[in-house]
Structure 1
């Protein structure tokens, strides 16, 4: 897990995983009391694909955790498309919150009542499940009969807001699956998403109990992976779909800097 937080120590380029970030490794946290944001990555991915979003939020005064979901990440994807993965992912997020609040260095500067979850793709499922969603299996994840409830933690009262980026939501299609989500939700979806059509996402989110607590945006020229931080030039290739965008989007870095990050920050600022 990578954790980024405000500090008064000057940063310098550091290699973290496959990427270079301008950070002050192991520096003392800045004095204060900061909201906590967890970013849940998509299936078979890594928290570091959201590194630039994390850095932007840290500069705005948030502690940001980028957990790597065990057995469903780029190094070990052995639980992909399995029931245990759907059960475990929301619990990973809850355990991360517990761990950071108990951390002797970071715990004292985190506001325990001000936690937000951001989830991309399957990370969106994970965030909604911890925020009170009650998922139900679908044929791909249930090989032995009719749909059944997926056991996940009860709604975590520390979670005060959820941001969904091109979320994977088929497990919340059953009547009442989202009735327990009482926190505000921001959904940002790609109009050219090749995996999750925006109309389907909107249809599922209509199950939220209070329509006024949903802020829903379609980014017309964005694809499924347009919400990931831009990749280093050496990794940008048509053979690597996460690095690619629909032709109309233009520069992914500009989209993030001018549209994505300000929209997320404005939403979180209203509730944390």
Structure 2
């Protein structure tokens, strides 16, 4: 459930703008704790569902087109919202950020200037977007940026959140980001104690929580509900600090 008012008037802006990119074969609805918190605190938030790489259609999941299309989806979302009669005039185009989880982290890095490579060592042509001014990466799939200088053009501030117990995007993914960007001081890294890869997803309703449904599971003893009482506020503080500071330069 999401507590929203679909037909409500939009307050007078301009407001900063955040796009949330979901993980591989995931859903745009999985990060409601983050999206609602940001929206309640002065952000316009968009949650696109990535074509061909979502829970209902994963036909592009293992194809190079997925690596190419995902960043483009986010840029198209920005274009659409800026051109929208209702939201366009309320968005501050100098304060745009991307929040990405897992493969959404790949998407965010590619958008911000990253040059990805396929696992077989071939470069992938992607569309960058200079409108992106900050990134929040949660357990990002950074393995596509291992070659030297792959992240040399990523110069925006980054909040990098990793899970202590993550078999899908383990600790070396953080090293790829921290060591790959040209200015390590731009990266704020925090490892979430006892968290798992899926702990960044908003808590599921009790009826959906079971060991057979991996996105609902966490390492023993980890309290996802409590974590999501803190995570959105941490993201908000980072974005407030970085986006407004950049605007003053």
1:256 lines up with 2:228 in the alignment: yes
Distance 1:73 1:46 in 2: 6
Aligned to 2:4: 23
* Matched position secondary structure for 2:10: coil
How far 1:202 sits from its partner (Å)? 2.3
Does structure 1 conserve the Cα–Cα contact (< 8 Å) formed by 2:50 and 2:73? yes
Q: Does 1:153 align with 2:127?
A: yes
Q: Give 1:201 shift.
A: 1.5
Q: RMSD of the alignment, in Å?
A: 0.9
Q: How does 1:89-108 map to 2 (within 5 A)?
A: 89-108=70-89
1:224 counterpart residue number:
197
Asked whether the equivalents of residues 142 and 174 of structure 2 are also in contact (C-alpha less than 8 Å), the reply is: no
Structure 2 gaps of 5+ residues are: 244-249
The aligned counterpart of 2:170 is 197
Partner residue in 2 for 1:265: 236
Which residue of structure 2 lines up, in the alignment, with residue 9 of structure 1? Answer: none
Q: CA deviation at 1:262?
A: 1.9
- Higher relative CO (CA 8 A, sep ≥ 6), structure 1 or 2? 2
Partners in 1 of 2:174 and 2:141 — Cα distance?
Answer: 11
Is 1:39 the counterpart of 2:10 in the alignment? no
What secondary structure, in the 3-state scheme, does the structure 2 residue paired with 1:203 have?
helix
C-alpha distance in 2 between matches for 1:123 and 1:33: 26
Which secondary structure state, in structure 2, belongs to the residue aligned with residue 86 of structure 1?
helix
Distance in 2, Cα, partners of 1:194 & 1:170 = 13
TM value normalised by structure 2: 0.95
Per the alignment, in what secondary structure is the counterpart of residue 271 of structure 1? Answer: helix
1:229 to partner: Cα distance? 0.4
* 1:49-68 Cα deviation digits (max 9, x unpaired): 00111000011100000000
Q: Normalising to structure 1: TM-score of the pair?
A: 0.87
State how 1:71-150 maps to structure 2 within 5 Å.
71-139=52-120, 147-150=121-124
Q: Higher mean Cα deviation, 202-211 or 96-105?
A: 202-211
